[in-house]
Amino acid sequence: MTEMLLDFVEELGKNTNFWQRGRIGSSNVRKLATMAVDASCYKEFRLFMEYKRGKGNGWEKIFSNDKALADVIIEYLDEIYEKCGRDDKKALEEISRFFGYLYWKLKALKK
């Protein structure tokens, strides 16, 4: 699972132009790690990500292949959920790790 999470983060990190525009702050990503473990179920957290896309603040911006950043991340989250056997608790823990790794990546890109 760790390898898959790190692969997702590396793929997201490749779009340095998007991240350098500062549309999504690293602290915003870090908060998602905490929110994931605090969510009561995966569907709740997924709905929150859909809300973030609708609200804007950069999550609705095209990231790759004509998809918004939120949509790209939701696809990764769905894959994590499936790999965890649709176990909410386990999936949310792994999603929290994913956002933690993404936070590290974004901090590294700012250097």
User: In angstroms, rounded to a whole number, what is the distance separating the alpha carbons of residues 54 and 40?
Assistant: 21
Name the token pair of 11: 């793929």
Cα Rg of the chain (Å, integer): 13
- Compare 79 and 57 and report the one with higher pLDDT: 79
pTM of the shown model: 0.95
pLDDT at 74: 98
DSSP state of 66: T
- Expressed as residue numbers, the domain containing 23 is 2-109
pLDDT at 72: 98
The total number of structural domains in the chain stands at 1
